[in-house]
Structure 1
Amino acid sequence: MILVYALILGFVAGAVRAWVARRPYTVPELQYLWLAGLAFIPQWVAFFLPYTRNHISRTGAAVALVSSQVLLLLFAWRNREHKGFWLLGAGLLLNLLVIGANGGLMPVSPETVARLHGVDVSALEIPVGSRVGTSKDVLLPTTETHLEWLADRFLLPSWVPYRVAFSLGDVLIALGVLVFFWQAGGGYSSPAESQAPVMAEHRSEK
């Protein structure tokens, strides 16, 4: 959900920037966009599609999450020439590291889940070490979590209608998306176009 907010805010901010500067708002064409679409499929099946998410095993959910993160990381790498994609890629890498270090799912502490639902920790009925509902999270105490500082440990403000926990990697991903769309509002030239003046200067020197 934090990514959705970043997409909306980034697109609006970029459009306003282009409008103020009186230039067309042109979002650059991304390479291997199909990788991003392909990466969405395993997450959709494991965490969003009502029937499959209720029947998929923990191992299946872990495979879906890790494979999705790897595909998104490849997508970010293929588009690293665009501003914002280094941040996005760094966030994906941090998430992949903590997920891989904790059995293939994103760790979240009982304290964070209790804060998320506004209940006392003792009221939680989720066994430690188990998947949290049909989500991508696994409930782990901070003392048993590898790379705990990269886990889902932050919450959106209470006035935000949709409550969700998110990680430092998610923050970097959101910032990368914001930078990408903000930069698009400032005008875009393809890598080939940006190198054209240099090539022209080189030819003139000959």
Structure 2
Amino acid sequence: MILLFFALAGILIAALLNFFHGRKNQYRNLGEIRGLWLPVLGLALELPFTLFPAYAEKAGWMFTIASYLCIFAFLFLNRQKRAPVWLTGLGTFCNFFVIACNGWRMPVSVRALAVYPDITAEAVYAKKANYFVALHGANFSFLSDVIYVPIPRIGGFISIGDILLGLGTAFFIVQTLTDNKYPELFI
């Protein structure tokens, strides 16, 4: 959900920049994004963890690897957008790394249980099979979901990777929607 927040922020920032520079939004540039279906597929591959947690528990590594391969393929196809792709790629790698090092599940801070007193470690796992509350620690826990975001409906706990991925996504959107490749159309 936090990624959607960053994407919407990127769209808003791009619209404001174009407005203040007297340009129309460069929606024509969206056609230059290659493989846009890949991150959509990558996100769809995360659905079994929520919809079918018992099944996803058995083959979670397969869904996780496939999901992240889609995202890395999208970034590779769009590597000409250097800074946003590197930032998004670094965030994606941080998340993948901590998940891979913890049995293909993302550790969640123990502080999550204190903030949400109704939620137990079992409830976290039952809700989403690719997460676990790190009651006894986790490998590379500083990369796990340890940053509390106290915003209703989109808040919760996020990781450093989520922040980098979100900033990269917003920057990617801003760069795409503000690139003035077709100035002759708006004179």
SS of the residue 2:126 aligns to: coil
What's the TM-score once normalised by structure 1's chain length?
0.75
- Cα offset, 1:55, TM superposition: 3.8
Q: Which sits farther off after the overlay, 75-84 or 164-173?
A: 75-84
Give the partner amino acid of 1:84: P
- Cα offset, 1:36, TM superposition: 1.8
CA contact (8 A) 1:17 1:185 kept: no
SS of the residue 2:127 aligns to: coil
Q: Which has the larger radius of gyration?
A: 1
Is 2:147 the counterpart of 1:154? yes
Give the partner amino acid of 2:147: F
The aligned counterpart of 2:138 is 145
Q: Distance in 1 between matches of 2:178 and 2:154?
A: 31
Give the partner amino acid of 2:36: L
- Cα offset, 1:44, TM superposition: 2.1
SS of the residue 1:66 aligns to: helix
Deviations 1:92-147 (A, max 9, x none): 011110000001111113223332x1x2xxx76425xx962232312223x53111
Long gaps (5+) in structure 1: 191-206
Q: Distance in 2 between matches of 1:57 and 1:160?
A: 28
What's the TM-score once normalised by structure 2's chain length?
0.82
CA contact (8 A) 1:110 1:139 kept: yes
CA contact (8 A) 2:48 2:56 kept: no
Q: Distance in 2 between matches of 1:155 and 1:31?
A: 34
The aligned counterpart of 1:78 is 77
Q: Distance in 1 between matches of 2:146 and 2:109?
A: 7
CA contact (8 A) 1:99 1:106 kept: yes
Percent identity over the alignment is 23
Q: Say what the alpha-carbon RMSD is for the aligned residues.
A: 2.4
Q: Distance in 2 between matches of 1:19 and 1:124?
A: 45
Is 2:27 the counterpart of 1:35? no
The aligned counterpart of 1:200 is none
The aligned counterpart of 1:126 is 121
Long gaps (5+) in structure 2: 183-187
SS of the residue 2:107 aligns to: strand
CA contact (8 A) 1:153 1:166 kept: yes
Q: Distance in 2 between matches of 1:161 and 1:40?
A: 19
